[in-house]
Structure 1
Amino acid sequence: MSTQTTGTIAVFGATGQQGGAVVDALLDQKARVRALVRDPESGRAQALAARGVELAAVRADDPASLAAALATVAGFYFMTPESNSLEEVQAEIRIGTALVDAAVQADVPHVVFNSVFGAERESGVPHHDSKHWIEEHLRKSGLRATMVRPTAFMENFTTVMAPSLEQGEIVLRLPLPEDVALKMISIRDIGRVAAALLLATAQAPGGAVELVGDELTGPEIAAAFGERAGLPARYEALPLSVLPSELDRAMFRQFAEAAEDPSDLAVVRSIEPAALDLPEWIRATGWTAPTDAAGA
């Protein structure tokens, strides 16, 4: 049985959604957290400090600042910025490489990298392959490392993938065939899984875990929202051409390809037993049906 880690955990990306969820989960476990931030005076950084998080000012292009911020930590979580262009992909790889190199210099005992589903191989999706290349650099570094690979966020159902209410019916439209199951995870559970790995209260088989809390087809997702609203529901599969960019189209192609390999949902729940499935997430967030478009 492993002994729980009690030293300081460093977090890069703590002011973002996923990194913030990791901080939340670590603080819930009374862990000491050091946030690596660009601007310690920013509102988000100061909000972390108010919760007892230590702040360390770093610059991704300053290896000395990174290594100093990682000195003496017991574990290190990092994620890299989201990439939406080839130029941003290259910048993401540079940042990830610099963070790995700094962890090597600081001799960090355990690194958890927040990657993406499918990053164990090249996929042809540039902003996913960037994570693959960072994973490869981390593997070659000699550090003890664990990869967490989130799938689609359930939180997207409140924004870009939100269902609508039309003439008294819940309608969900996605650029996925209706027989394709979408793998998904809540951001809360990304944080909880990463925290459990960092604190050594759990381990990932083989040093990597695909983060999936549920996998449902479009009609099943629509039905889950319809049940919550107490209304009929339907799903409409859209063509990929409705997406605004080739990066988005490539990502949804990968969603469809990923469905060909069913997930072992028990793996995530062995690390975080309270991981949410979609109906549980819908209830936990207090989701309510939007205004009826026809009656607006």
Structure 2
Amino acid sequence: MSTQRTGTIAVFGATGQQGGAVVDALLDHKARVRALVRNPQSDRAQALASRGVELAAIRADDPASLAAALATVEGFYFMTPEANRLEEVEAEIRIGTALVDAAVEAGVPHVVFNSVFGADRESGVPHHDSKHAIEEHLRKSGLRATMVRATAFMENFTSVMAPSLERGEIVLRLPLPEDVPLKMISVRDIGLIAAALLLGTAEAPGGAVELVGDELTGPQIAAAFGTCAGLAARYESLPLSVLPNDLDKAMFRQFAKAEENPSDLAVVRSIEPATLDLAEWIRATGWTAPTNVAGS
């Protein structure tokens, strides 16, 4: 049985999208939060401070500042900066390794690492294998650790994967075969699940949870948006060549192998029963069909 913790929770990445969602969920539970930030005077850091978050100035290349920032905390959530280029992968591993080592030095009782789906093994996707390396370092550290392995963000459907409106029809295009389901999770739910684990109100079986709120094929995703808009919908599978870099191409090749790694949505909902599926996320965000009509 888990026991709810009431001490300070440290968060690295608090000014970002996922870390910010963790802070939101922790504050909703009246938890004490310490954000590890590079620049406490930045607008985002000051916005956290205005909400009662303690700020701890750190440098990723300064082990002493990291260990000092983690002193006396009861839990620690961290994620690593996403590598957008191959040369950034090694830097991501260095930062993750330094954070783990600092948590060891500070004697942090519980660490939650925001990883990626499939990081329990090498996948051939460089910016996923970097998280596998960090997971391995964390596992060997002796710390009590939980891995939360995120999948594709539903929020991407408001930006890089947004459906379009063409001649009165919702159209979704992705570089994914139409019979392959895409595993996805809302950023809000990443925060809720991580907070539950950090606060001790839930536990992940085996020390890891694959964060999947829904799993749908391209045509099913398009249909969900079409249903919300009250319009017909269709899906078009695109070639990988439309992607801007080799990292994204490697990632979508891995997405296409989704059936090799089945999801267990029940595990996620045992931690956070209110985890959104895609249709619920569409309604919760107030999504509406684009107004810029293409092709007419």
Q: Same fold judged by TM-score > 0.5?
A: yes
Q: Deviations over 1:245-279 (max 9, x none)?
A: 11111000111112333311111000000000000
Query: Which consecutive aligned stretches of 4+ in structure 1 deviate over 4 angstroms post-superposition?
Result: none
**Number of the residue aligned with 2:209:** 209
Q: Deviations over 1:75-132 (max 9, x none)?
A: 0000000102232111111100000000000000000000001100011111000000
CA displacement at 1:35 relative to structure 2: 0.2
SS of corresponding position for 2:276? coil
CA distance in 2, matches of 1:273, 1:61: 39
CA distance in 1, matches of 2:30, 2:7: 11
**Number of the residue aligned with 2:33:** 33
The number of equivalent residue pairs is 295
CA distance in 2, matches of 1:11, 1:128: 21
- Counterpart of 2:251 in structure 1: which amino acid? M
**Number of the residue aligned with 1:283:** 283
- Counterpart of 1:161 in structure 2: which amino acid? M
CA distance in 2, matches of 1:90, 1:96: 10
Q: Deviations over 1:135-157 (max 9, x none)?
A: 00000000000000000000000
CA displacement at 1:242 relative to structure 2: 1.3
What is the Cα-based RMSD across aligned positions, in Å?
0.7
**Number of the residue aligned with 1:23:** 23
Q: State which drifts further: 251-260 or 61-70.
A: 251-260
Q: Deviations over 1:198-218 (max 9, x none)?
A: 001000000000000000000
Q: State which drifts further: 155-164 or 236-245.
A: 236-245
CA distance in 2, matches of 1:229, 1:164: 12
Q: Is the 8 A contact 1:38 1:58 kept in 2?
A: yes
- 2:267 is the counterpart of 1:262: no
Q: Is the 8 A contact 2:67 2:106 kept in 1?
A: yes
**Number of the residue aligned with 2:111:** 111
CA distance in 2, matches of 1:194, 1:6: 15
Instruction: Map 1:155-194 to 2 at 5 A.
Output: 155-194=155-194
- Counterpart of 1:201 in structure 2: which amino acid? T
CA distance in 2, matches of 1:27, 1:2: 20
Q: State which drifts further: 250-259 or 124-133.
A: 250-259
**Number of the residue aligned with 2:146:** 146
CA distance in 2, matches of 1:257, 1:6: 41
Instruction: Map 1:57-72 to 2 at 5 A.
Output: 57-72=57-72
Q: Is the 8 A contact 1:182 1:259 kept in 2?
A: no
**Number of the residue aligned with 1:82:** 82
**Number of the residue aligned with 2:228:** 228
CA distance in 2, matches of 1:8, 1:281: 31
CA distance in 2, matches of 1:257, 1:39: 40
- 2:129 is the counterpart of 1:125: no
**Number of the residue aligned with 2:295:** 294
Q: Deviations over 1:21-45 (max 9, x none)?
A: 0000000000000000000000000
Q: Is the 8 A contact 2:86 2:247 kept in 1?
A: no
**Number of the residue aligned with 1:253:** 253
**Number of the residue aligned with 2:240:** 240
TM-score scaled by length of structure 2: 0.99
**Number of the residue aligned with 2:195:** 195
Q: Is the 8 A contact 2:180 2:258 kept in 1?
A: no
CA distance in 2, matches of 1:126, 1:240: 17
CA distance in 2, matches of 1:256, 1:114: 22
